[in-house]
A and B are shown apart, each in its own frame.
Chain A
Amino acid sequence: MKALALHLALIGALLAVQVVLPPYHYTNVARVMVLAVYAMGYNIAFGYTGLLSLGHALFFAAGMYATGLAVHSAPALLALPLGMLAGAAMALAVGLLALRTAGVAFMIVTLMFAQAGYLTILYYGPVTGGDEGFVLAREARMLAGLDLSADGPRYLTALAIFGVALLANLALVRSGFGRVMVAMRENEERSRMLGYDPFRTKLIALTLSGLYSGTAGAAYALMFGYVGASFAAIQYSILPLLWVLLGGAGTVLGPFFGALLMFYLIDLSSSVTDASNLVVGVALLVLVLFAPKGILGTIRERGARWLP
C-alpha cells in the first residue's frame, strides 16, 4: 500500500511539475522519462533476474528502427506497438541463444549480438541512413491526434508511457513471477531444485526487458523525431547499466532517479568541460567501488525495507 502510494505520488509530482518547468527542462524531463523506461527494462533483466547484458542497445534500436521505418507508411498509432513488439521479439531471439550461457560468456555474447546489429544498421545504409540516421517528418509524429513534436503533448505522452511502465513494473516484481526472477538471481540451483525452470524464467524476463527497451526506443523515435545508428552503439548498452547502478539495481524507482541524476550530471558537467566520457567512466568506477547498491538500494538497506 505504502509502495503503491509512493509510486503514484511520483507520477503525480511529475504531472504537477510541468507547470513550473522552463521549456529547456520540460523537454529534458520528457526525455529522461522515456530513457527511464529503457532503464526499467534493463533493471528487469539485470537488477531482478541477475542477467548482466551488454547488448540492450540492440532491443532499444529494434524498437526505434521498427517504429521509425514503419511511420513512413503507417500511422504512428500502429507503428508504436510494432516497435514495442520488435524489441520483445529481438530479445526473445537473442535470449534463445544467449541464455544457454551464463555470467561472463552471457555478457560477451550479448555484446557481440548488439555489435552485429549495429554493424547491420550501418551495412544497410540506404534503408537506415547509416551513420547519419534519418529525421521523422512532423506529420508522421501524430499519435492519435496528439502532435508529439509540440512540448505539451510530448511531455504528457512520455508521462503516460512512463506511468504505465512504472506501475506494471511494480506489479511484476510483487507478483509470484517477480519473486521467481529474484530467486534466479540469488540462487539458480536452489530454484531449480524447487521446480522452477531457470531457462524459461530468464527468457520471459529478458523478453519483458526487451519489450520495455523497444517501447522506449519506439517512443523516443516518435517524440524526438530522430532515428540514428548511434542509439544502437555500445554506449547505449552501457548507459542503462550506469543508470540502474546509480539509482539502485533491483528497485522499481531506481532506474528513474539514476537516469535523471546521470542526465543532469552530464548536462551540468558539459558546461564546465567537454569530457563527458570521463564523467561516465568515473561514475561507473565510483559506483562499483563504493556504492554497488545504488541510491535506493542503500536507502532500502538503511531502514526502508518495504521499498520494492
Chain B
Amino acid sequence: MAAVLALTAVGLSLVFGVMRVVNVAHGEFFMLGAVAAWFVTSWMPGPPWLGFVATLLLAPLAVAAVAALADRLVLKRLNYDPEATIVATIGLLYILQQAALSLYGPDARPVPAPFELRLQLPWFGYSGYKLFVVAAAGLVLLAVWLIMTRSRIGLVMRATQIDRPTAQAFGIDVDRVYAGVFAMGAGLAAIAAVLIVPIQQAHYLMGGDPLLLSFIVVIIGGLGSLRGTLVAALLIGLSDGVISVFYAPTLAKILATLFVALVLVFRPQGLFGAKA
C-alpha cells in the first residue's frame, strides 16, 4: 500500500523537516487514527459510508488535537532539543500504546468499508475500495503539496524551517507553527490509518510497522525532503511486496533495515536528496 505509506511518511518528514524533531511516536498516531475510526464507525448510526465520512473528518482532528497537546505540554518545554525530544517521544509512544491497550483492549477489530465494489477486469478482480484509497491518498498529498508551496501557511512553515530566529524576528509565531506542523503530521498519519483500516484491522500494536517503514522511506528519500519522501514511498511500497515474494519476510526486513542504516552512514542526504 504505497499510497498510505506515502501519507504516513510525509507526516513524519514534515515534522522532521520543519521542527527537526524525530517523532518516534508517529506510528502511535497512526494507531490512534485507526482506533478512533473504530470508535466512530461503531457509534455512528446510518449507512457505513456516512460513518466513514464522519471518521475521515473526526479521527484526524482528534489525533491532531492529541499531537498539539503533546507539543504544547512536552516538546515545547524541551526547546525542541533533538535528543531530548526523541526520549520524550519514546515516552509518548509507551503512554499512547498502553492507553490504547487499556481503553480499547488487545483485540484486533474490523471496520466496515464504506462501500463494496469489485471491479471485474477480464484477467483479475480488483477491490474498488483499494482504488479509492489510492485516489484519496493522492488527493490529500496534492493538498499538502499545495499548502506547502502555494499558501501563506506553507510559506510561514518553510520560513520557519529555513531559519527559525529570522522567522521569529519577522513576527511569525514560531510556537504556533510548530504546534500546527506537529498536529498536521499526526493528522496525516491518522488519515492514512482511517483509509487503511477497512483493509487491515485496528489493533493497539499496529503502529510498529508503519513507523519502521516511514523511517525507511524518509531516510532513503532524504531527511526533510518532501519530494524525495514521495518517490521513496512509492518505490518501497511497491518493492516491499516484490521482495517478500522472493525472500522470507523476516529476511526482507533484515536486509531493509541494514540497507537503511548503510544509507544513513554513507549517504546521509538520502538517495534522492540534494546536497546536504
Q: Nearest-CB distance from B74 to chain A (Å)?
A: 6
Chain A hits for B82, CB < 8 A:
103-104
Complexed CA–CA distance, A285 and B84 (Å): 9
Chain B stretch 173-197: residues in CB contact (< 8 A) with chain A: none
Complexed CA–CA distance, A278 and B101 (Å): 10
A144 within 8 A of B: no
State whether A292 touches B84 (Cβ < 8 A): yes
A84 within 8 A of B: no
Given contacts A101-B264, A108-B22, A123-B248, contact A289 B102 (CB under 8 A): no
Chain A hits for B93, CB < 8 A:
281
Digitize A19-54: 1 where CB-to-B-CB distance is under 8 Å, 0 elsewhere.
000000000000000000000000000000000101
Given contacts A281-B92, A284-B94, contact A108 B264 (CB under 8 A): yes
Given contacts A123-B251, A280-B94, contact A275 B22 (CB under 8 A): no
B120 within 8 A of A: no
State whether A288 touches B87 (Cβ < 8 A): yes
Chain B hits for A287, CB < 8 A:
87
B148 within 8 A of A: no
Chain B hits for A2, CB < 8 A:
none
State whether A105 touches B98 (Cβ < 8 A): no
State whether B258 touches A112 (Cβ < 8 A): yes
Given contacts A103-B82, A241-B87, contact A281 B98 (CB under 8 A): yes
Chain B hits for A104, CB < 8 A:
20, 22, 82-83, 86
A107 within 8 A of B: yes
State whether B265 touches A100 (Cβ < 8 A): yes
Given contacts A108-B219, A123-B251, A284-B88, contact A113 B261 (CB under 8 A): yes
State whether B257 touches A278 (Cβ < 8 A): no
Nearest A residue to B102, CB-CB: A275
B260 within 8 A of A: yes
State whether A120 touches B254 (Cβ < 8 A): yes
Chain B hits for A283, CB < 8 A:
91
State whether A289 touches B260 (Cβ < 8 A): no
Chain A hits for B135, CB < 8 A:
none
Complexed CA–CA distance, A231 and B251 (Å): 20
State whether B91 touches A109 (Cβ < 8 A): no
Chain B hits for A289, CB < 8 A:
74, 77-78, 88
Digitize A107-145: 1 where CB-to-B-CB distance is under 8 Å, 0 elsewhere.
111001101100110110000000000000000000000
Nearest B residue to A276, CB-CB: B98
Complexed CA–CA distance, A285 and B215 (Å): 22
Partner of A107, one of B78, B86, B258, B260: B86
State whether B98 touches A275 (Cβ < 8 A): yes
Partner of A285, one of B22, B92, B250, B254: B92
Q: Nearest-CB distance from B98 to chain A (Å)?
A: 4
Partner of B250, one of A97, A109, A112, A123: A123
State whether B264 touches A288 (Cβ < 8 A): no
State whether B92 touches A278 (Cβ < 8 A): no
Chain B stretch 218-276: residues in CB contact (< 8 A) with chain A: 219, 248, 250-251, 253-254, 257-258, 260-262, 264-266, 268
Chain B hits for A241, CB < 8 A:
87
Interface residues on A, range: 35 or more
State whether B86 touches A277 (Cβ < 8 A): no
B66 within 8 A of A: no
A159 within 8 A of B: no
Chain B hits for A107, CB < 8 A:
22, 83, 86
State whether A116 touches B257 (Cβ < 8 A): yes
B90 within 8 A of A: yes
Chain B hits for A113, CB < 8 A:
257-258, 261
State whether A245 touches B87 (Cβ < 8 A): yes
State whether A278 touches B22 (Cβ < 8 A): no
A282 within 8 A of B: yes
Partner of A281, one of B95, B212, B262, B264: B95
State whether B260 touches A285 (Cβ < 8 A): no
State whether B254 touches A103 (Cβ < 8 A): no
Q: Nearest-CB distance from B37 to chain A (Å)?
A: 23
Complexed CA–CA distance, A120 and B255 (Å): 10
State whether B265 touches A97 (Cβ < 8 A): yes
Digitize A47-90: 1 where CB-to-B-CB distance is under 8 Å, 0 elsewhere.
00000101000000000000000000000000000000000000
Chain B hits for A285, CB < 8 A:
74, 88, 91-92, 95
State whether A284 touches B22 (Cβ < 8 A): no
Q: Nearest-CB distance from B140 to chain A (Å)?
A: 26
Nearest B residue to A275, CB-CB: B98
Give me 18 other A-B pairs in contact (C-beta within 8 A), A123-B250, A123-B254 excluded: A52-B83, A52-B86, A97-B262, A103-B83, A104-B82, A108-B22, A108-B219, A109-B261, A113-B257, A116-B257, A119-B257, A123-B251, A238-B90, A275-B101, A278-B94, A281-B91, A288-B78, A288-B84
Interface pairs (18), CB distance under 8 Å: A100-B265, A101-B268, A103-B82, A103-B83, A104-B82, A105-B264, A108-B261, A109-B264, A112-B257, A112-B260, A113-B257, A277-B95, A278-B94, A278-B102, A281-B94, A284-B88, A285-B91, A287-B87
Residues of B within 8 A of A (CB): 20, 22, 74, 77-78, 82-84, 86-88, 90-99, 101-102, 212, 215, 219, 248, 250-251, 253-254, 257-258, 260-262, 264-266, 268
Residues of A within 8 A of B (CB): 52, 54, 97-98, 100-101, 103-105, 107-109, 112-113, 115-116, 119-120, 122-123, 238, 241, 245, 275, 277-278, 280-285, 287-289, 292
